[in-house]
Structure 1
Amino acid sequence: MNILVSNLGFAFSGIGFVFLFLLLLTTKKQSLQKKLLYLICFFGVVWSLTSYSQFTAQWGIAPVLLAESCLNIALFLLLTSSLSNHQTLNKTITSSIQRGLLAALLIMASLAAIRMFSPILNLKLFLLFHLGQAIIGLWATEQLYRRTHRSETWAIKPLCLGLGVFFAYHFALYSDALLTSSIERGFWVGRGWIAVLAIPLILLTARRVSNWGSRVYVSREVIYHSTLLLVAGGYLLIMAIAGYYLKIQGQAWGSLAQSLFFALSGIVFASLFLSESFRNNLKVFITKHFFANKYEYRVEWMKVAELLDNQDNSPYDSALQAMVRPFGCEQALLAIQENNKFKIKADYQTADNHSEAQQLLSHLANPAVEHQWIIDIPQLKSGGEKTPFEINTLELPTNHPFYYVVPLTCSTGVKGVYLLSRPTSTDRLNWEDRDLMRAISMQLSVYLNVYHTNQKLAESRQFDTFNRMSAFLVHDLKNVVAQLQLINKNAVKHRHNPEFVDDAFETVESAVGRLNKVLHQLNNKRLEKQPTQSVNIIDTLQTVCEHRAVSLPKPTLQFNSTSNESVTYYHLSADADRLRNIFGHLIQNAQDATPQEGVVTVKAELKPDYFVIAIEDNGTGMSQDFIESRLFKPFDTTKGNAGMGIGAYDAKQFIEDLGGYIEVDSTLGKGTRFQVYLPVINENQTVIEK
């Protein structure tokens, strides 16, 4: 059992090399470094198996030394190839020192292989060989780290750290063995655990270095929680050792001292893990030392989209939270430019008095927006930031929490700035923080520009509705005026005719009703939908024709039916006044387009699916282009100031609302035929009923 427990490190290292090999298989990209990683995985598994079996199978130390020599050669080749962009060993190992060291390693491995079958050399000499291998490994690791450009050291740092510990441990092991002429067993079996530590670091570098071909993704959350677990485990282990020491040293009071110590350490442990600052600092440490980028951009954009989709907050609050969240700012403001002045639209955990912020805005907002510049206020005051504009820093307020001014601009719309306090997610802004700020700011500027555009569009629609209502009301007033003018014109000849007097009173009564409706709609500032009622179509047409008979040519009404039912029995559920106005307008248009000696005919015909009213004339007619492009276009008229250009448009809208449609057939110089189709049965109910 003791042997199995002491060799667990080699078992885990073997599993780790197998796992690394399987992860490398997940990508198709091939490179020299990837092939060497395959080789390292193979020799790593062999080294772990021989080390594990040294005591359990009584293999002796020779196979272990041979496997370790092969593993060291593969690691040396990986370190030297990482310094070159070439993909062959001949072009990679160019210096005489590298070739000499590789030859020495190969000779040592060969001698170790020979010693497995014939003890030609003393074991102490092999310990010296492996001490030399450890020194060569440390030299190669140092060369890789020192000769790598500073901007790329983050990529190879985990590899250098892992292999540096691996070779340093072996250096200490074999140095001790040579000094004492023996290998301490605990020291020896610890190699497995050192390998377990080095494998994840090799994997991390394989992920960071693009040409190694690894596409393994390690989540920041996984690293974060794993680090928390590791810190917790280490803390508890240290506390356990300290508690055991107190128990041993305390004698009679040892158990009590141990219990009190555990209680206090538990409180400290809970306080640390509940501390927001501790967790934030840990995230910053992990981000700095384990990842190529400070931010996980896919997650960041998903969270920004989620914030912008929140309907509970105003667009300004959502935009401010989207900027604040990635950087963990404790205070922030969003100001938008209105009438050449920046007005605060949203604030986050700031005081109600924004006088200091307004002073900052008056001095820094315009330069930030004009030059698209993220201003670092402390650096600006100390003179450490070079800007494309000049600011008198003595005029800047001092009693405020803000560190940065971030411009918010859109090429054709909103302009504004963010005032941000010191970020808690980083110690100091670098190029990556500024790029993320700019990217989020650009997205939010588009978002707010769309919001402003929608606001203006809503206002424009309200004005359009009001203008449309006004046009229809004026159109109604014009019709009333036309009726009254017609009475006044005919009064000269017919004022003593009792029938004319009766018609005049009816017309005045109708005009009063229309005017009251117009006044009611003006008071309510909207066009109200009138209640529908059962309207006899033929009676309506007869009434309209009689009213239009005062103008020439007089319209004539004709009707027939292709079915067994008479058209005179059918009614339409609609607004009676508006229906009369529609037919009256169409007949009036026919009269206006026809000379007095011409003909205007109104025909009504009942067909199986539609009630068809045709209004025909032999007037001037219209071109097909005019019918398609202008006839039903609102506010487009050929009557000059006498017309509003909405009669035909209103007729088309009203008939289509009833489920019907209008067809127009016209020829220039020959006349026009308007055919109004009213459905007998629509999708929901009978429109025309007996």
Structure 2
Amino acid sequence: MIVGFLGYSVAAVFYLLFSLLLLTTKQSGFQRQALSLSVFFTLLWALAAALQIWFAMPLVFLYAVETLRNGLWFLLLYATLVPHFEFSQLVHGPWRKKGILLGLLLTAILQLGVGFSGFNLNTLWLVSQLAQAIIGLWLIEQLYRRIELNARDAIKPMCLGLGAVFAFDFSLYANALITSGISFDFWSLRGFVALVAAPLVLLSARRVKRWSTKIYVSRDVIYHSTLLLVAGAYLLVMSLVGYYIRYAGGDWGSMAQSGFFALSVLVLVSLFLSERLRKRLKVQITKHFFANKYEYREEWMKFAAVLESQQGSPYSIALKAINQPFDCQYACLAVTENGRMVVKNTYNIRDDDPQALLCLELFGQQAIEHQWIVDIEELKQDSSVLPFKVHTNSLHNINKFSYVIPMSTDAGFKGLILLSAPTAIHSVNWEDRDLMRAISRQLAVFLNLHRSNLALAESQQFDTFNRMSAYLVHDLKNVLAQLQLLSKNAVKHKHNPEFIDDAFETVDSAVNRLSKVVGHLSKKQRVDTVVAPFSLKPALQQVIKSRSISLPLPLLEYHLDDGFELVCDQERFINVLTHLIQNAQDASEDNGSVTLRASQVEQQCLIEIEDHGEGMSIEFIDTRLFKPFDTTKGNAGMGVGAYDAKRFVEELGGHIHVQSKLGEGSLFELYLPIHKI
């Protein structure tokens, strides 16, 4: 009695909340009205069943309420099957359709009347209720078989829920006819069956468009409710087994029962703490009970929260944002800089991972140009799926990554994201690809905004530099005025000893002021450049000669023809190398070594500057080395030398690569195009 009363009472409370949710919706329509009435009469049925158990009322009154409930569920099932169903179709339709509902209504009236009169027609009512269960199962089968394929996912939860209710009723009443009496054990569990069916019907109420019922059901609620239901069922089964052990175990039964129950709880906790089990459960719930794979509102909120975080560089934040919904084991983000793909951030792999570099080489520019998400596993089976051609001979070497996702904006930002096979979803379909595409577009805007902010900050720094230069020019003018005045007075007073003393003081002051100005402007800005071919070896020898005034003495290793030529501004080229060698000397001990090398790599000239000095950290190289006006020399430098070298090389169409380790030294590699103006 307690179990039965509790089951029906909880079901009544749940269907009451369901009815209140339906009342809050403003949409109209016959299906929506039929749903509201069905849920309301199920509430009355559950309440009547609880009262019947508590007050031992005759079952015939409950049969009447149950018949009305079943009739309304039949009406909803039929209305869901027929497109644009209206009540007038039922009134003016064939008699076989009206006969079922009229028969049910008449049966309910007779059951109420017989209940008040006291006649015993129990067998007749059992046959009537059994027939209703059969009709319900038949309607569910017809609905699921005849409805459009694209709508099956929407009505599947309702079919499962109502199917469980009518199948249980069929077993109950069939057993009652065979045994000439209703099993109270069966009867007590009906409330729990109706309770399980309620959230399934609620899911369909949210997904079937023709019902016009907008009810939000959180996936987390379904997920945690499922975990709770499974845990409860597991503990119930374990309790029954433990009771049997105690019953059959004699003197040792109580101890064995306690040990078994403790072990079962330990197994349950270990299973539910398993991340793999939780992921698989989420996948199954999403796959079978929701029309969409993702709760886009929640996904977008999580995405925005990741972008708002300040943990890591913008590239690491972007990679975390796109990997969050898919939970891939490996990931890589690269952007296009000066015509080549440069890896900016990785997850669980190295920056120079061979498979990542191979993916960038095979798919980089073409995937961005065609805005095509490349499925590598699919491509291995059929190379014709791509709108562009790739060399498929190397695909067997790629097993870490499964998807190549392009990023681009109209402002010119271009990049790629590499992902391994997702572990958070069962399989990748069009919805996953759409989510990948939507996130990648937002990340392209996010990263392009980051680069724009850097360019703006750089421009502001140069503006500050220009303002500072104005003050320095002012100082130079003052020095010039002093020297001009001295030169003018020298004509008349050059033989005056006092004038000579004053002249030396003026010159000393001018020297001091000019020394400060020259110190600040040692790396001056050139406006006019002369681009022309020049011999490389004499230029490098000039650099070595100019820097031989400091220790350690630089060495030249030349591996090209003596007549090898480059095409660029020779003066600026010499200044860039001079500054880089000076930096290497500053970072080395007097007895150290600094080497300047020249060689050819394919169609590029490679200039290397290597030292064995202090070295630099990876963080310093990524964040400070090429940042303008960031210097480690205090007032002795302005922090534009390395930045100017990078700008010069990239303007020629080349690039700089830096390798360094703290305490071991640094290697600057300048890749310059050959004969390119």
**Would the TM-score normalized by the shorter structure come out above 0.5?**
yes
Paired residue for 2:573? Answer: none
Paired residue for 1:623? Answer: none
CA contact (8 A) 2:482 2:506 kept: no
User: Counterpart amino acid of 2:137?
Assistant: L
Label 1:125 to 1:499 Cα distance change in 2 as closer, same or farther (>3 A).
Answer: farther
Q: Name the CA distance, whole Å, in 2 between partners of 1:253 and 1:6.
A: 33
Paired residue for 2:15? Answer: 17
CA displacement 1:29-84 (0-9 Å, x = unmatched): 23323322332233223323433333544542321121111111111111122234
CA contact (8 A) 1:337 1:343 kept: yes
CA displacement 1:235-263 (0-9 Å, x = unmatched): 22222222233333444554454444334
CA displacement 1:568-622 (0-9 Å, x = unmatched): xxxxxxxxxxxxxxxxxxxxxxxxxxxxxxxxxxxxxxxxxxxxxxxxxxxxxxx
Equivalent residue runs for 1:607-686 within 5 Å: none
Paired residue for 1:302? Answer: 301
CA displacement 1:125-173 (0-9 Å, x = unmatched): 2222222211221122222222332222222222111111111111222
CA displacement 1:622-662 (0-9 Å, x = unmatched): xxxxxxxxxxxxxxxxxxxxxxxxxxxxxxxxxxxxxxxxx
Alignment RMSD: 3.3
Q: Name the CA distance, whole Å, in 2 between partners of 1:497 and 1:484.
A: 15
CA contact (8 A) 1:80 1:92 kept: no
Q: Name the CA distance, whole Å, in 1 between partners of 2:433 and 2:343.
A: 23
Paired residue for 2:400? Answer: 401
Equivalent residue runs for 1:204-219 within 5 Å: 204-219=203-218
Q: TM-score, normalised by structure 2?
A: 0.70
Moved more, 57-66 or 112-121: 112-121
1:167 equivalent to 2:166? Answer yes
Moved more, 381-390 or 245-254: 245-254
Paired residue for 1:424? Answer: 423
1:39 equivalent to 2:37? Answer yes
Paired residue for 1:196? Answer: 195
1:517 equivalent to 2:513? Answer yes
Q: Name the CA distance, whole Å, in 2 between partners of 1:35 and 1:24.
A: 9
**Residue ranges of structure 2 left out of the alignment (5+ in a row):** 523-677
1:128 equivalent to 2:127? Answer yes
Q: 3-state SS of the aligned residue for 1:405? A: strand
Q: Name the CA distance, whole Å, in 2 between partners of 1:55 and 1:437.
A: 55
Paired residue for 2:87? Answer: 89
User: Counterpart amino acid of 1:162?
Assistant: G
Equivalent residue runs for 1:380-529 within 5 Å: 380-383=379-382, 386-398=385-397, 400-474=399-473, 476-477=475-476, 481=480, 495-496=491-492, 513=509, 516-525=512-521
Q: Name the CA distance, whole Å, in 1 between partners of 2:473 and 2:4.
A: 100
Q: 3-state SS of the aligned residue for 2:332? A: strand
Q: Name the CA distance, whole Å, in 1 between partners of 2:9 and 2:308.
A: 51
Q: 3-state SS of the aligned residue for 2:402? A: strand
Q: Name the CA distance, whole Å, in 2 between partners of 1:457 and 1:506.
A: 49
Moved more, 167-176 or 257-266: 257-266
CA contact (8 A) 2:126 2:173 kept: yes
User: Counterpart amino acid of 1:34?
Assistant: R
Moved more, 174-183 or 509-518: 509-518
CA displacement 1:204-246 (0-9 Å, x = unmatched): 2222234534444333333222222222222222222222333
User: Counterpart amino acid of 1:10?
Assistant: Y
Q: 3-state SS of the aligned residue for 2:415? A: strand
Label 1:517 to 1:309 Cα distance change in 2 as closer, same or farther (>3 A).
Answer: farther
User: Counterpart amino acid of 2:431?
Assistant: E
1:179 equivalent to 2:175? Answer no
User: Counterpart amino acid of 1:204?
Assistant: L
Label 1:365 to 1:274 Cα distance change in 2 as closer, same or farther (>3 A).
Answer: same
Q: Name the CA distance, whole Å, in 1 between partners of 2:387 and 2:407.
A: 18
1:374 equivalent to 2:370? Answer no
User: Counterpart amino acid of 1:71?
Assistant: R
Label 1:467 to 1:59 Cα distance change in 2 as closer, same or farther (>3 A).
Answer: closer
Shift of 1:410: 1.8
User: Counterpart amino acid of 1:521?
Assistant: V
Shift of 1:87: 6.3
Q: Name the CA distance, whole Å, in 2 between partners of 1:94 and 1:257.
A: 68
Q: Name the CA distance, whole Å, in 2 between partners of 1:360 and 1:163.
A: 51
Q: TM-score, normalised by structure 1?
A: 0.68
CA contact (8 A) 1:7 1:52 kept: yes
Q: Name the CA distance, whole Å, in 2 between partners of 1:384 and 1:225.
A: 43
Equivalent residue runs for 1:345-356 within 5 Å: 345-351=344-350, 354-356=353-355
Paired residue for 1:62? Answer: 60
Paired residue for 2:25? Answer: 27
Aligned length: 522
Paired residue for 2:329? Answer: 330
1:246 equivalent to 2:245? Answer yes
Label 1:513 to 1:32 Cα distance change in 2 as closer, same or farther (>3 A).
Answer: farther
Q: Which has the larger radius of gyration?
A: 1
Moved more, 330-339 or 8-17: 8-17
Label 1:384 to 1:203 Cα distance change in 2 as closer, same or farther (>3 A).
Answer: farther
Paired residue for 1:102? Answer: 101
**Residue ranges of structure 1 left out of the alignment (5+ in a row):** 527-690
Q: 3-state SS of the aligned residue for 1:235? A: helix
CA contact (8 A) 1:379 1:385 kept: no
CA contact (8 A) 1:17 1:45 kept: yes
Paired residue for 1:632? Answer: none
CA contact (8 A) 1:14 1:49 kept: yes
Q: Name the CA distance, whole Å, in 1 between partners of 2:40 and 2:450.
A: 60
User: Counterpart amino acid of 1:297?
Assistant: Y
User: Counterpart amino acid of 2:225?
Assistant: S
CA contact (8 A) 2:4 2:50 kept: no
User: Counterpart amino acid of 1:520?
Assistant: K
Moved more, 180-189 or 310-319: 180-189
